[in-house]
Amino acid sequence: MRTRVTDLLGIRHPILLAGMAGSTDAALVAAVSRAGGLGILGVSTYPTADLIRAEVAKVRELTPNPFGLNLLLWGALEYVEPVLELQPAVLSTAWGDVAPHVEAAHEAGCLVMHMVQDVPGAEAAAKAGVDLIVAQGQEGGGHVGLLSTFALVPQVVDAVGDVPVVASGGIGDGRGLAAALALGAEAVLIGTRFLATKEAPIDHSWKLAILEAGGQETLRTRIPDIANEADWPEPAAARTLRNALVERWLGRESELRSQAAEAGAKLQEARRRGDIDEMALYAGEVVGLIKDLPAAGDLVERIVREAESLLPQLTAKVLGRTAPKA
């Protein structure tokens, strides 16, 4: 499977690991890059730039293949410079203005990939000169916007001219990859499906919650951000699994705001303990498709093989039919 994205990034498969802050590490990133995809390390929540440097050194020990570093531009601006000094193949960005960083990234030898949730965002990113645009649908896990992948991706493809588009949100198998290609995307960026892998650096209880949940058990909520007093830009809200934390505060968000300090501390503590009832269980609607915990590299292979066999089958099945007699 060769697309402009695989050519641009020098990778074998059009599959990118989402740079999930707090839920990616060197082992997961290297596993995806070694398998021929692009691993991306989410570094926005690292406490210091030295810790980012140490984790990147580990990635480089594990694989010579290209990888990316992800930054949330609304809150981690102090890391732009140290990240560019590390010269990842890709600077992956989201939620903020990418324009001020494109030239510096290119000077450092990095491609710039910016994630958007609507057409005006995509047009602004294309105007800023980014090399790739991720169109992220609201069915995805973590912080998402308002439009769905199926509607958003072709709108973004039409809006950005020659800039290659990557689809994200709700993609968990080869069918999702094939559909994304049909919509005009040239790769997929996957988060939730990679959380349910052997290497994902999250508590095992979170992985089990993903395996057990149905797609109807997620919702888009501001509860974790209110508790964390995190000032995400509009229209961001986090898709999480419904758990006791969410059920308790749903509809009582202003009350939560007044108790944020205590609630935020409890949230962090619950994550440390792996308490799935009380932590923010970020996950997308695709959870309903996830039934196993494979190695990340095997998952990349599986998704690609499935899409590769599906595309010709689909063509034969739909176009190879003779028309019914009138």
Ligand X SMILES: Cc1cc2nc3c(=O)[nH]c(=O)nc-3n(C[C@H](O)[C@H](O)[C@H](O)COP(=O)(O)O)c2cc1C
Which range of residues in 163-171, 228-236, 256-264, 315-323 is near ligand X by CB under 6 A? 163-171
Compute the least distance from the CB of residue 258 to ligand X, in Å: 27
Whose Cβ is closer to ligand X: residue 1's or residue 15's?
15
| Residue 95 burial by Cβ neighbours in a 10 Å radius (0-12, 13-18, 19+) | buried
Q: Which residues ranging from 51 to 80 are in contact with ligand X (CB under 6 A)?
A: 70, 72
Asked whether position 19 contacts ligand X by CB under 6 A, the answer is yes
Query: What DSSP string runs through 178-194?
Result: HHHHHTT-S-EEESHHH
CA distance 53 to 97: 24
Whose Cβ is closer to ligand X: residue 23's or residue 65's?
23
Q: Which residues ranging from 256 to 285 are in contact with ligand X (CB under 6 A)?
A: 282-284
Asked whether position 42 contacts ligand X by CB under 6 A, the answer is yes
Compute the least distance from the CB of residue 288 to ligand X, in Å: 11
For ligand X, the binding residue among 5, 15, 23, 38 (CB under 6 A) is: 23
Compute the least distance from the CB of residue 76 to ligand X, in Å: 9
Rg (CA), the chain: 19
Question: Phi and psi (nearest 5°) for 131?
Answer: -90, -25
Q: Which residues ranging from 90 to 109 are in contact with ligand X (CB under 6 A)?
A: 94
Provide the 8-state DSSP code for 166: E
Q: Which residues bind ligand X (CB under 6 A)?
A: 18-21, 23, 42, 44, 70, 72, 94, 115, 136, 140-142, 168-171, 189-193, 282-284, 286
